[in-house]
Amino acid sequence: MQPDEPDEPDAWRPAGGVDIILIMPIREIDFIKGEYYHLYNRGNSKQKIFLDDKDRERFLKLLYLCNSKKGIDFREDIIKKKIDAWDFEKGKSIVNIGAWVLMPNHFHLYITPKPDAWRPASNAVTYFMHRVLTAYSKYFNARYKRTGSLFEGKFKSIHITKNTQAKYLFSYVHLNPLKLIDSDWDKAGRLASGFRVSKFVNFLDSYKWSSYFDYLDIIRSENKILDRIDFLDYFESRKSFKKEIFEWIKIKIEEEG
C-alpha cells in the first residue's frame, strides 16, 4: 500500500479535544436503531463532486475512517505517519454500510445505525454523514482552490421499510453506473426489447466505484467499507447476484411501463 500524500490541509478534526469546523448543514431527523435507510446527495447545482480517481479514493477512505467512535485526524493519523488509510485501525463503527456507489455528481449509500453506535441512533447517522461530507468538502475545496458549498444542502434519506424495497435498492445502487454508458437504459421497454444485457454486465465488471465488486467476493481494500452482518443476504452466490439485480430492475421497468 502506498501512503496518502500531503496535498491538502487537515480533512477533519472530530471529537477528542479539538473542535469540528462546521461546514455541512446538520439534518434535523431521527434515525431509528435497527431500521434501514437509503442516503444520497449530489453536487451543488448538479456539479461534479468527483473529478478523478484520486477524489473517488479519498471519499471512500473517508467512508471507512469517519465510520468510527474514534476521533481521527487525517493529516496527523494518516498523512504524517505515512500509512495507507485502509491500514488504519479505526476501531468500532457507528453505522453498518450494506451498499454504496459513486457517480460523477452524486453518491448513494444503504446503511443502518449500529445498536452500540456510541451516540444515540437518532443522530449517529447524521454525525457519520456530517463527518464524511465536511471532510470531503474541505479536501475538494483545498485541492481545486475553490470556496463555497460543494454539496446540494443536507443529505437526503429514504426510510426502507419493506423487503421488496430493500432488495430493489441493492439493484438500483449497483446498476446506477449504467447511466454513464446509456442514460436511458432503464426506460420502459428497453430490456424487454432485447437490449444487450451483456454490454451492461461487462461495464459493471469494470466499474470499481461501487460495492458491486464486494458482492462478487473480489478481494480489495474497499471491502472494509461494508459490514453486511445486519443486512439480509438476498443473493445465494455471485452468479445469482448478477442475475437478481437485473431481474429486479426489469420487474420495476415493467411495473412502470
The three-class DSSP label of residue 179 is helix
Domains and CATH numbers, the chain: 36-159 (3.30.70.1290), 162-220+231-256 (no CATH)
User: What pLDDT, on a 0 to 100 scale, did the predictor assign at position 254?
Assistant: 57
Residue type, 28: E
Q: What is the pLDDT of residue 229?
A: 72
Return the beta strands (E) in the chain as ranges.
Answer: 36-42, 95-103, 106-113, 156-160
C-alpha–C-alpha distance, residues 162 and 216, integer Å: 24
Identify the three-state secondary structure at position 63. Answer: helix
Which pLDDT value is given to residue 198? 73
| Maximum distance among all Cα pairs of the chain, rounded to whole angstroms | 60
Q: What is the pLDDT of residue 34?
A: 84
- Other Cβ atoms within 10 Å of 131 Cβ, number: 25
Torsion of CA 73, 127, 69, 216, to 10 degrees: -90
Query: Which H/E stretch holds residue 199?
Result: helix 197-204
Q: Which residues of the chain have pLDDT under 50?
A: 1-2, 6-26, 192-194, 257
